[in-house]
Structure 1
């Protein structure tokens, strides 16, 4: 068994190489044993449109049953529908079989114990059980339940549109997002321009990852050609959102959080709102300006959900488009619901999306920059950067090193999932951005070499 399949937030690999039928059969029994050891027995299972997913579901059911777990099958659904089942149905946990936004030859497993998504040491615990071959024994059952209709009705009951008639482009990227977004938005009365909303595991049109600019070009073009109010794009399993305004400009995760947090703070002054370390300083300042409590936290959907639970935050978000609503929702990341909240805001104003955000101070920033750095070296490099810069600058070390300069900031953090460092920079002018970036990158390069 390739031990690299056990990642920080999930179990993931290439089908037929890392995830063979034999490996998945072992994983079924290992995950089932983990559940039983933690007092869980009834487990919801959902799967995405990838070719290997139905086969992996059958192997999981067999493994779960052999350990005494009962499988509750909710069918082919986006990841948020699995989370919804875990929150609203009589189950003790859940597994989503999905390759998310990874290439079509990948697949994987996102795992929930109770209402919490596993990460870190819990994933390592499953690895230990799998390698030991020491599995619980029992006889479980399997049953199918209908969840999709309940989920759709629940969201419709939570969204209250204003009088304005909206036109939206929906780009499913041939992932699972369109499965829920299209019927829900149509039921809300939105006029839709639909792109690639049919699931196709080969992703024939573009890759379903809305954090990459080139993957949003079809949505941008459709928005301008159809004179739409906005474009909404989804990742492969429907838990991350990308948004494009009426001019075809991309609204990244932190800017989207400005829009959403302002709306929440109108009703809920003093609410805690969480954003991860890669987000713009504009967001943290704007939350404070509108009477909220901004909280900077680590990147990673499992880590953010845990922090929301701990702090009672109303909203949280990441640059990657994971948006988590506890306000009028369950606290998990759901792109269809996040999109519905954006539509709700727009439906109650005459302003365009760009006008709603036009008062934000202009900043200049880089996208996420990825620098190769060996796994055994990457955390040490970040520590050295933090130590060295802290003699002259304030350095926030919640997740990596966010170095504060007079006119901006630079971030250096080690990826939890790859042998890379992630860098991002922001400043109040092009010149200051270049200066901050050159200062930090030069030192990073020296430490890597």
Structure 2
């Protein structure tokens, strides 16, 4: 029987909605039918399936398995775990694709699906094609088998690698799906480790699992201070975003984490391209160039970054949002657990503390990501209007993803969100006065397009 998805859940990078409102078990079954059909028509036979710790994930996983097997595809269930564990399974098991049931860092009543086929992300037009199959009921039929494989221990060993560096570290899983992996990983790592909220609980009783929000790092910051730890690491709900607190309690953003990780990478791969998203600091791109690498600014969004990494054969990439992507054997996947271990090794190789590495970074100030609600029909149009006005005025504008504008004070970015009905902006400058002027330029452009000013409580970093 054909099935129509609510268009709101068909995102650019994945499928994501509010369970009980825009997303339910019937959607999971239909997605399984479409994805299984995609795999079979490409000559494949098996799909790995995992799920995160949200209360609705087991229900959606069951529907997904029902749909996949009804399309004639065999399913390998790997159970509860972070998204990177599913990516690991898809790369190491005899399967042709993988689907993770996850709401990522979104509110507890949200959920969705991240997909890959032949170790490449399924996104954009491919997601729309899956929806079209469902609408038409254009599905293969069959009776696939179901098996269960425990991949956690193998994944932990792979993440651990040959790490021998010993530090005193705090780990905050936020009651997300990374918790059981962290519990096993720290048993193998040298040093002293203190764990927070590693029990998986889809109610998220301690704080929301999004390490890009400073308020969610309060417990980790307190732990680092109380135990006088070298640093702390935190993870989102499905373990593909990392947050970091140094020994002095300061937050390191994704671009700052990447600026530390690139040094050992560029020693191993001299002159290599390093990809970072348009939200990233100019200091990161300068750092990559100073180390002899080739900085590449690209569109935000994990699928966009992965595609560019493959095109350039880049060994590492990152986003300000805390996604760090690894090339080589990691096939461009974003893995916050692996990023944490790589950070441990990079800090050890530097011979300095993480706080000292943070001190050595340029003294720039920036806003957090500013968000503006906008009529969905106007979202892209507003950005186009701003670009047109800026170009007419002779401004320096990069349109890789929205408008990134360079000024004497610094730079600012305005782009349409790929996941919400929002415009997002960010600004960076040399000092607070310069930042205020830069933010004022954003406000002025938005006002010209009839969009409300940002909340004055947004504070610079």
Counterpart of 2:302 in structure 1 is: 301
Q: How does 1:414-433 map to 2 (within 5 A)?
A: 414-433=416-435
Query: Match for residue 258 of structure 1?
Result: 259
Shift of 1:39: 3.0
**2:404 corresponds to which residue?**
402
Query: Paired residue for 1:17, among 18, 21, 25?
Result: 21
1:190 equivalenced with 2:191 (yes/no): yes
Corresponding residue of 1:161: 164
After superposition, what is the alpha-carbon deviation per residue over 1:323-375, rounded to whole angstroms, capped at 9, x for unaligned?
Answer: 01115643210011000011112334542112123222211111100011112
In structure 2, which of residues 125, 131, 134 is the aligned counterpart of residue 127 of structure 1?
Answer: 131
Q: Which moved more, 1:419-428 or 1:129-138?
A: 129-138
Any conservation in 2 of the 1:177–1:335 contact (CA below 8 Å)? no
Counterpart of 2:377 in structure 1 is 376
Q: 2:334 maps to which residue?
A: 333
Could you tell me whether the CA contact under 8 Å between 1:315 and 1:324 is conserved in 2? yes
Residues 57-92 of structure 1: per-residue CA shift (max 9 Å, x gap)? 222222111111110111111100100011111110
Against the structure 1 CA distance between its residues 409 and 318, is the aligned structure 2 distance closer, same or farther, given a 3 Å change threshold?
Answer: same
Does the CA contact (< 8 Å) of 1:78 and 1:179 recur in 2? no
**Aligned with 2:150 (options 116, 139, 146):** 146
Q: How does 1:169-248 map to 2 (within 5 A)?
A: 169-248=170-249
Q: CA RMSD in A?
A: 1.5
Partner of 1:74: 78
Deviations 1:174-227 (A, max 9, x none): 001222123213311231111101110000000000000100111111101110
Partner of 2:100: 96
Q: What SS is found at the alignment partner of 1:56?
A: helix
Q: Which moved more, 1:79-88 or 1:147-156?
A: 147-156
C-alpha deviations, 1:235-278, integer Å up to 9, x for none?
00001100000001000011111100122122322011110000
Other structure's SS at 1:275 match: strand
Higher mean displacement: 267-276 or 284-293 = 267-276
Say if 2:24 and 2:60, in contact at 8 Å, map to a contact too: no
Secondary structure of the structure 1 residue equivalent to 2:283:
helix
- For the 8 Å contact 1:243–1:252, the answer to whether it is kept is yes
The superposition leaves residues 259-303 of structure 1 with CA deviations (integer Å, 9 ceiling, x where unpaired) of 001221223220111100000000000110111100000000011
Q: Is the 8 A contact 2:9 2:22 kept in 1?
A: yes
Q: Larger deviation: 370-379 or 212-221?
A: 370-379
SS of the residue corresponding to residue 212 of structure 2 reads: coil
Residues 159 and 320 of structure 1: CA distance in aligned 2, closer, same or farther (over 3 Å) = farther
Q: Is the 8 A contact 2:281 2:428 kept in 1?
A: yes
CA distance in 2, matches of 1:317, 1:442: 30
In structure 2, stretches of 5+ residues that fail to align are: 452-461
Deviation at 1:161? 2.1
Structure 1 unaligned regions, length at least 5: none
What's the counterpart of residue 272 of structure 2?
271
Task: Return the TM-score normalized by structure 2.
Answer: 0.94
**1:39, 1:9 → 2: CA distance?**
24
Moved over 4 A (4+): none
Structure 2 Cα separation of the partners of residues 338 and 386 of structure 1: 35
Cα distance in 2 between the residues matched to 1:260 and 1:448: 41
TM-score calculated relative to the size of structure 1: 0.96
